[in-house]
């Protein structure tokens, strides 16, 4: 941490800050500048709360240097974390694709979609049984019945299943049925849920919050890892910006940035970012070329009749065609 | 809802959309325009999912008209909802001030601060016992002990207390001790928590999410009201933008906008928006002049030693001085 | 500037950075931290380009410390700059109000509006003769005729007039007729125009860009001051965010932040921020209570027939009523 | 346009709106809804100003339906516009790459870089002679000398050159030397400059503004086309968001969205979006896979000594390696 003093800060003010730093057990190091003094805080374990010193007299600015995360950081662990689920590995340079409908609507629906996405090359099946919905009047998911349908999908197709856990109360139930548990965008900083996910024996897909900084996202992953679960897959799904031509703005630059800071695998969900089918396919291609560790794509056999997110779901044929191109793009990227 | 067709949409495509609308039980009304056809959906109860029709052939755009909320809407209830807590009323044109530290740190601390804010004119006391923190390594609050300290504050000063409920597991405990229960920014769309809050017998302060649209915020309040609790106080606390000169951007225009759409009272928390003491006071004055239904301000007896958010907490003297001005500003506003 | 090295940066990499710093004529000061080395750049005049060192091997982050502006900064000049125009002074603790229509539409229109806003207490008249419009098909302003109408307004009412200069070509003409020249939001970083404004003999109102950082805005003012014109009035008019309940998000926290960094006066335009009349009045009250150095408010005698921005223009009566309250709020704020 | 009335709007208010619509020469069509009346405006040529009706009594919302642009729209011209420059064509399904340094620094520098990027497969050379800089103290470009160096590059390598025009005053000079003229981000709504560009006989690259909506960007292109220059190439270069891990957020979803709305070619500049070399290459791959009509990439022979934007410039070798992969990715995309 660097504490920058105002030009006209008095020696007394500098001393007060130095004392406050040392009172907290850190080492303070005054750095004379051309026109002002700065004070470095050294030998701190982990990060120091920047806000703490901001209110002192004579202080102009406080600049954090050390990042607050540990377990998730690339400095803590240099090699990529690899997470194996069924045939798929996230983090080893390949790009497993997770596909399926937004919500589990019926057994027949999920079985049909699962067959077709498996045939097209998807490695995991997705489908929501518990659906966090903006409106209390929207379809909230089939709950336990939905989870049971997913179990049938696994039995019938061999595909591992990914589904969302919305709260601590139903987490056990989800954990019993899922192969990978998803924490949704709106729950990225639901810290009680993150702690529970940290005790799970299954890998977690942690979706980025609607306006989460990279650092906040990594701190959310840190909550999970700190409880003992080191299998966390980050998932970029678009962030909220001023833009209105897509539902969210897919932030692909977060992928290389996250890989630089963290050893965790990172996948992309172009469906929720786009909100409309026409944009999903090009954004999937872009993600593949970028070198992501996986993709999550919504597919529905009758998008027009989907109970949620129909407009962004691909038709099965469209998905199959997309998968072929994705494989080709990927073969180029992997051969670097 | 208005479905706008492309210029070159065929009659067949128009018919398909009309049929899909009618299949869902609504009335479709084709509106010939200068250059294109639009289709209005009429007599729908509540809102129709815009996404549903977006994927149809020949459709250019789908424009929602009816808002999806009911119970929270001004059209549902014309008069302002008034919520009484102790001496204070939120929503009757007055501006009760809630003050106290970010976190309950010790009994002595909260008693001292409570005495001073009461003397300065605060009507409620705030203090967090369960603290949602970005980092798992930050101070997480005193938990039950903190709640018990708050009970002692109420006994000692007569001030009703406001504290946050972070999850369903500890909600009962919070409800037993608090006079008003706060749902935090990061939990605005924690739907399980919202449903639990809807069953509480205490008023709820619902903080706006970091990047929540007004409509999403009102839908979150709808979740609470739909479960039976109609005492919801909205709280604006700044939103995330590109700006870096303040922690968040206080969005004061949401106050008149929310009052137009909804009958619920709305208060402002300038402390979390600003993140730095120097900005808190002017933003509090601004909020008062705007006509808000209340304020929530952080005050700490020793901000330099606060375990969280010290930089944004006012000194007791500063708070007392601020309260005098707030009262003066308010007297002008109320006399309109 | 602080250059933070990676944990595993080699001594060689540190030396390379130090040499590059010294090659540019600065002093490098290596600061050993707990786990990593940082390099401070000292005795630099003005700011150093952060990007320059970002690409060096072993560099993790580059953190600017010195701000790049000089003439506009509070450290350069401690007292508030005061700018006198007619009876009004911007920057002396008072709050002169500039009022008038968005665009000059006819002589009769401006004369009528000017009479009524003068009577209500406005100190300056505003009206656009050259209008920057998003669409080439929208009304572009009356040009020279509009400027002449403004001259007539000054003669008839004694009010100084504020009008926008859109380009260097027409700047002379605007300068000849205006008392204060406005640089619009979309031109905040039109550097050629800023330089021309810097040569003008009239005060400049510099509107904040749609998504301008405080620092960029101050740098734009620096362009003007650097050419010799030190009469620059900053004007906050709302920034672009994800929000949809108002046209822009009025960022009031920029006011105390700007006053901390700079000695220049800062005013607020609530009309363009709100985009709708209902929000203009409360935002004007809020701005007054915040302690701004002035306000700019749109008023139109027949808003329904305005050629631009009718929906955000106040009716003359509404403006007069608003002015009374503004005066009352201000009397409280000024007596601190 | 659709004017949505409040639930309790009176018949009188509805009539007033209808009359106002008809007074402007449009046809009003009242649409009874389940609970409220809406009024459609029909047979309007071009768009109607939404703001105009927003302030009427009983009006809840005004929803624009018709887009305000004409010449740029896909509905006006169905086929892609193709723009030929030297060997390159923008808009025919290929992806010409424009490469070169941010700024022209010396003849030797541009000749060396041009040779190397040509060898690697770039089709056009870029380099700024007039540089819009946030700070008046930063390097502002070599001006005319820079333009002359670019002419030498063209002569020596045969590569057409792209350079920026910053203002109307120096436009003639730029037009005389450049093959393609760039309008920069900060000038996207410099309407005088756009009109001048519309009179140029050279193609224009129009960079997207820092926080421009797609519609505003297309309207800026409309300004150029309306003056007679139909050779406009859109260039996405990242937008400003809350994100801090990259300089700007590259908004790739704007590419399919723009292609849906407009027939103009659209290219991507990953260098300015990223701001740091590590992110440029993956974002270039992503853009190629997305199907863009071209790329603009910064390359410098000595990035460490670049006078601007060194950190985001690729090394010549890195660029050559990148070009190979880009070609491979592209061959897959083009074979759809």
pLDDT digits (tens, 9 = 90+) for A288-313: 999 999 999 999 998 877 877 778 89
What does the pLDDT read at residue A115? 98
Nearest CA in chain B to C248: B253
| Of D314, D274, D329, D293, residue with least CA distance to D116 | D314
Residue of C243, C257, C286 with shortest CB distance to B286: C286
How near does any CA of chain A get to the CA of C169, in Å?
33
DSSP C26: P
Residue of D4, D29, D241 with shortest CB distance to B65: D4
Which residues on D lie below 8 Å from C191 (Cβ)?
132-133, 136, 166, 186
Burial A34-51 (b: 16+ CB within 10 A, else e): eebbbbbbbebeebbbbb
CA–CA separation, C177 vs C166, rounded Å? 14
CA–CA separation, B41 vs B33, rounded Å? 16
How near does any CA of chain C get to the CA of B143, in Å?
33
How do beta strands A97-100 and D88-90 pair? Answer: unpaired
| Of C202, C222, C210, residue with least CA distance to C162 | C202
User: A-C interface: how many C-beta pairs under 8 angstroms?
Assistant: 63
* D135 has a pLDDT exceeding 90: no
**Residue range A186-212: mean pLDDT, rounded:** 97
Residue of C132, C135, C192 with shortest CB distance to D166: C192
What does the pLDDT read at residue D107? 97
Which residues on D lie below 8 Å from A330 (Cβ)?
none
What does the pLDDT read at residue C8? 82
pTM confidence score:
0.91
The mean pLDDT of chain A is 91
Nearest CA in chain C to A32: C42
Query: Is residue D143 within 8 Å of residue D130, measured between CB atoms?
Result: yes
Scan for tokens 């350079």, then name that residue. Answer: D163
* A147 has a pLDDT exceeding 70: yes
| Of B273, B297, B323, residue with least CA distance to B126 | B297
H helices within chain C, ranges in order?
11-23, 50-54, 107-120, 144-157, 171-177, 191-198, 214-226, 254-261, 270-274, 277-290, 316-334
How near does any CA of chain B get to the CA of A114, in Å?
22
Inter-chain CB proximity D285 and A285 less than 8 Å: no
User: A-D interface: how many C-beta pairs under 8 angstroms?
Assistant: 130
**Residue range A327-332: mean pLDDT, rounded:** 93
Nearest CA in chain C to D139: C49
How near does any CA of chain D get to the CA of A287, in Å?
6
Inter-chain CB proximity A169 and B166 less than 8 Å: no
Cα-based angle B294, B296, B300 (whole degrees, multiple of 5):
150
- In sequence order, the 6+-apart residues with CB closer than 8 A to the CB of B90 are B82, B83, B84, B96, B203, B233, B265, B267, B293, B294
* D47 has a pLDDT exceeding 60: no
Query: Is residue B96 within 8 Å of residue B121, measured between CB atoms?
Result: no
Half-sphere exposure of D39 (CA within 13 A, CB side): 28
Residue of D254, D257, D279 with shortest CB distance to A253: D279
pLDDT band at D296 (very low <50, low <70, confident <90, very high): very high
Cα-based angle A120, A126, A131 (whole degrees, multiple of 5):
150
How near does any CA of chain A get to the CA of D260, in Å?
9
**Residue range D13-37: mean pLDDT, rounded:** 78
And the tokens for D333?
């995309």
- Best of B67, B252, B261 to substitute, by most chain C Cβ atoms within 10 angstroms, is B252
Nearest CA in chain A to C31: A40
pLDDT band at A50 (very low <50, low <70, confident <90, very high): low
Query: Is residue D93 within 8 Å of residue B66, measured between CB atoms?
Result: no
What does the pLDDT read at residue D42? 64
CA–CA separation, C233 vs A175, rounded Å? 60
**Residue range A129-154: mean pLDDT, rounded:** 93
Which residues on B lie below 8 Å from D65 (Cβ)?
2, 4, 33, 38, 61, 63
Output the CA–CA distances (angstroms, integers) from residue B268 to B99, B288, C251, C255, in the order listed. Answer: 12, 9, 15, 18
What does the pLDDT read at residue B65? 66
Which residues on D lie below 8 Å from A328 (Cβ)?
332
Query: Is residue C233 within 8 Å of residue C206, measured between CB atoms?
Result: yes
| Of A257, A164, A245, residue with least CA distance to A207 | A164
Inter-chain CB proximity B239 and C241 less than 8 Å: yes
Scan for tokens 């044109």, then name that residue. Answer: B93
pLDDT band at A212 (very low <50, low <70, confident <90, very high): very high
H helices within chain D, ranges in order?
11-23, 50-54, 107-120, 144-157, 171-177, 191-198, 214-226, 254-261, 270-274, 277-290, 316-334
What does the pLDDT read at residue A138? 85
What does the pLDDT read at residue A217? 98
E-assigned strand segments in B93-135? 97-100, 124-126
| Of C231, C294, C327, residue with least CA distance to C88 | C294
Task: Phi first, then psi: give them for residue A281, nearest 5 degrees.
Answer: -65, -55
**Phi/psi zone of residue A51: left (φ > 0), alpha (ψ -120 to 50 degrees), beta?**
alpha
* D320 has a pLDDT exceeding 60: yes
- In sequence order, the 6+-apart residues with CB closer than 8 A to the CB of B86 are B123, B124, B158, B159, B160, B179
Residue of A54, A135, A304 with shortest CB distance to B55: A304
How near does any CA of chain B get to the CA of A306, in Å?
8
And the tokens for B16?
């398909």
What does the pLDDT read at residue D15? 87
| Of A101, A206, A112, A123, residue with least CA distance to A153 | A112
CA D10, D15, D18, D20 torsion: positive or negative?
A: negative
E-assigned strand segments in D20-120? 27-32, 37-42, 59-63, 83-85, 88-90, 97-100
What does the pLDDT read at residue B91? 97
Which residues on C lie below 8 Å from D52 (Cβ)?
304, 306, 310-311
CA–CA separation, B246 vs B244, rounded Å? 5
What does the pLDDT read at residue C9? 86
Would you list which residues of chain D are within 8 Å, Cβ to Cβ, of chain B? 2, 4, 6-8, 29, 31-35, 38, 40, 42-45, 61, 63, 65-66, 75, 211, 240-242
CA–CA separation, B44 vs B28, rounded Å? 10
Give the burial class of C63: count Cβ atoms within 10 A of its Cβ; 0-12 exposed, 13-18 middle, 19 or more buried.
middle
CA–CA separation, C63 vs C51, rounded Å? 10
And the tokens for A110?
């999920």
What does the pLDDT read at residue C18? 86
Which residues on D lie below 8 Å from B241 (Cβ)?
242
Output the CA–CA distances (angstroms, integers) from residue D199 to A136, B97, C193, D171, D226, in the order listed. Answer: 56, 61, 21, 11, 9
What does the pLDDT read at residue A303? 85
How near does any CA of chain C get to the CA of A78, in Å?
11
Query: Is residue D223 within 8 Å of residue D191, measured between CB atoms?
Result: yes
Inter-chain CB proximity A273 and D253 less than 8 Å: yes
And the tokens for C170?
């027409």
Order of strands across the sheet that contains B27-32: B27-32, B37-42, B2-5, B59-63
CA–CA separation, B303 vs B309, rounded Å? 8
Inter-chain CB proximity A239 and D244 less than 8 Å: no
* D25 has a pLDDT exceeding 80: no
Inter-chain CB proximity A46 and B310 less than 8 Å: no
Give me the tens of pLDDT residue by residue for chain B, a chain 336 residues long. 778 888 788 888 888 888 888 887 777 777 766 667 778 776 555 556 666 777 788 888 787 766 788 899 998 899 999 999 999 999 999 999 999 999 999 999 999 999 999 999 999 999 999 998 888 888 889 999 999 999 999 999 999 999 999 999 999 999 999 999 999 999 999 999 999 999 999 999 999 999 999 999 999 999 999 999 999 999 999 999 999 999 999 999 999 999 999 999 999 999 999 988 899 999 999 999 999 999 999 999 988 778 777 788 999 999 999 999 999 999 988 765
Which residues on C lie below 8 Å from D46 (Cβ)?
137
Give the burial class of A317: count Cβ atoms within 10 A of its Cβ; 0-12 exposed, 13-18 middle, 19 or more buried.
exposed
Residue of C213, C249, C257 with shortest CB distance to B279: C257
Which residues on A lie below 8 Å from D325 (Cβ)?
332-333, 336
Q: Report CA dihedral (A150, A155, A159, A164) to the nearest 10 degrees.
A: 20
Task: List chain C residues with pLDDT less than 70.
Answer: 32-35, 42-51, 65-66, 335-336
Which residues on C lie below 8 Å from D186 (Cβ)?
189-191
Residue of C251, C290, C329 with shortest CB distance to B282: C290
Coil, helix or strand at residue A11? helix
Burial A82-91 (b: 16+ CB within 10 A, else e): ebebeebbbb
Helix A316-334 vs helix A277-290: crossing angle, to nearest 10: 20
Residue of D169, D209, D226 with shortest CB distance to C168: D169
Inter-chain CB proximity A65 and C34 less than 8 Å: no
Task: Specify the higher pLDDT residue, A270 or A11.
Answer: A270
Helix and strand tally (H, E) in chain C?
11, 14
Give the burial class of A168: count Cβ atoms within 10 A of its Cβ; 0-12 exposed, 13-18 middle, 19 or more buried.
middle
Residue of A6, A40, A75 with shortest CB distance to C7: A75
Which residues on A lie below 8 Å from D251 (Cβ)?
241, 243, 249
CA–CA separation, D242 vs A212, rounded Å? 9
Which residues on A lie below 8 Å from D213 (Cβ)?
242-245
Coil, helix or strand at residue C159? coil
Residue of C186, C219, C303 with shortest CB distance to D135: C219
């Amino acid at each position: 941490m660097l504490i920058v003093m105002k030009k006209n800060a008095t020696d007394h003010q500098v001393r007060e800050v130095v004392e406050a730093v040392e009172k907290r057990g850190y080492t303070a190091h005054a750095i004379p500048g051309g026109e002002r003094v700065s004070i470095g805080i050294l030998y701190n374990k982990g990060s120091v709360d920047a806000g703490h010193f901001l209110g002192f007299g004579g202080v102009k600015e406080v600049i954090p240097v050390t990042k607050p995360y540990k377990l998730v950081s690339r400095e803590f662990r240099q090699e990529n974390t690899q997470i194996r689920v069924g045939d798929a590995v996230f983090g080893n340079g390949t790009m497993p694709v997770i596909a399926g409908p937004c919500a589990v609507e019926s057994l027949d629906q999920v079985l049909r979609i699962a067959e077709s996405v498996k045939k097209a090359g998807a490695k995991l099946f997705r489908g929501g049984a518990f659906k966090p919905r903006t409106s209390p009047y929207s379809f909230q998911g089939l709950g336990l019945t939905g989870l049971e349908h997913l179990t049938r999908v696994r039995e019938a197709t061999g595909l591992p299943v990914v589904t969302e856990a919305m709260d601590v109360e139903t987490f056990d139930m989800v954990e019993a049925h899922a192969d990978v548990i998803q924490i949704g965008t709106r729950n990225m900083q639901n810290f009680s849920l993150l702690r529970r996910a940290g005790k799970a024996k299954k890998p977690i897909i942690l979706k980025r919050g609607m306006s989460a900084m990279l650092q906040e996202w990594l701190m959310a992953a840190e909550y999970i890892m700190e409880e003992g679960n080191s299998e966390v897959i980050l998932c970029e799904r678009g962030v909220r910006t001023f833009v209105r031509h897509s539902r969210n703005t897919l932030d692909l630059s977060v992928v290389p940035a996250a890989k630089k800071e963290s050893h965790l695998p990172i996948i992309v969900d172009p469906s929720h970012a786009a909100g409309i089918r026409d944009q999903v396919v090009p954004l999937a291609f872009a993600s593949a070329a970028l070198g992501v560790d996986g993709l999550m794509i919504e597919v529905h056999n009758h998008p027009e009749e989907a109970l949620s997110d129909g407009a962004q779901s691909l038709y099965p044929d469209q998905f199959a065609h997309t998968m072929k191109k994705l494989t080709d793009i990927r073969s180029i990227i992997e051969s670097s």
